[in-house]
C-alpha cells in the first residue's frame, strides 16, 4: 500500500513538471492588401457635331481649331481617374450609322473618303501634330500614358478630338457612333 501511495505521489509531482523543460508561445501577423482597381469617368458623355460639310474638319470644343498645343480651357472632355494604380488610356471608334443610307466608317490611316471619316484626339498639352489617330480596327493608340493613381493627385486630364468628315457624303441621314476610352493598368 505504501508503494502504491509513493507511486501515485510521484506521478502527481511529475505531471506538474514540464516535459523537456520547453514551453511554446505564439504571436500573430496582420496582413493588409489593396487590390488593383481601375475605374474612371469621362464627361460629358455626348457631343453633337451638328451638320458637317463634306471634307471639313470639326473640333469637339469649337468649329475651329483650338490652341496648339491643346490647353485645358479648349478641351471639351475630361477624364476623372479613380484608379488605385498608374494607368494608360487608349481611344477607338467604330462605324457611325443612321436610320437609313450608308454608314460612315472610320479610317485607321487618317485618309477620309466616300462615307469614310478620320479622327484625331489629344490630351491637354499635346501639340496638334502629336494627336493620335482614333482607329476602328487597328491597334488602338494611347491617348494618355502613365496617368497617376487617384491617391497620387494626378487623377484627371482633359482631352479634345477633331473630326474630318468624309470627302464625299452619299446621303443626308443623321449618323451617330461611339468613341471608346479604355483604361488599363500601366506596365
Segment 60-93, tens digit of pLDDT? 998 889 999 999 999 999 999 999 889 999 999 9
Residue 4 grid coordinates: 502504491
Residue 130 included in any domain = yes
Closest Cα to residue 92, out of 126, 114, 120, 129? 120
Residue 8 included in any domain = no
Residue 6 included in any domain = no
Residue 9 included in any domain = no
- Identify which of 25-29, 58-62, 152-156 has the greatest average pLDDT: 58-62
Residue 128 structural domain: 44-185
Cβ–Cβ < 8 Å for 62, 173 = no
What's residue 14's pLDDT?
57
Residue 82 included in any domain = yes
Residue 85 included in any domain = yes
Cβ–Cβ < 8 Å for 90, 179 = no
Phi-psi region of 147 (alpha: psi -120 to 50; beta: other; left: phi over 0): beta
When pLDDT is averaged across residues 165-175 and rounded to a whole number, the result is: 95
How many domains does the chain fold into?
1
pTM value surpassing 0.75: yes
Amino acid at each position: 500500500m505504501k508503494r502504491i501511495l509513493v507511486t501515485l505521489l510521484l506521478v502527481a509531482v511529475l505531471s506538474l513538471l514540464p516535459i523537456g523543460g520547453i514551453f511554446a508561445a505564439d504571436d500573430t501577423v496582420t496582413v493588409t492588401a489593396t487590390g488593383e482597381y481601375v475605374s474612371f469617368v469621362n464627361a460629358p458623355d455626348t457631343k453633337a457635331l451638328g451638320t458637317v460639310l463634306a471634307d471639313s474638319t470639326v473640333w469637339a470644343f469649337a468649329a475651329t481649331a483650338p490652341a496648339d498645343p491643346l490647353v485645358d480651357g479648349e478641351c471639351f472632355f475630361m477624364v476623372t481617374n479613380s484608379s488605385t494604380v498608374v494607368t494608360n488610356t487608349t481611344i477607338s471608334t467604330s462605324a457611325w450609322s443612321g436610320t437609313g443610307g450608308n454608314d460612315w466608317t472610320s479610317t485607321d490611316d487618317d485618309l477620309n473618303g466616300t462615307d469614310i471619316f478620320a479622327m484625331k484626339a489629344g490630351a491637354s498639352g499635346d501639340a496638334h501634330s502629336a494627336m493620335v489617330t482614333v482607329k476602328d480596327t487597328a491597334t488602338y493608340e494611347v491617348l494618355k500614358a502613365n496617368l497617376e493613381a487617384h491617391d497620387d493627385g494626378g487623377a484627371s486630364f482633359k482631352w479634345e478630338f477633331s473630326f474630318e468628315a468624309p470627302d464625299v457624303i452619299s446621303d443626308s441621314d443623321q449618323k451617330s457612333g461611339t468613341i471608346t476610352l479604355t483604361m488599363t493598368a500601366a506596365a
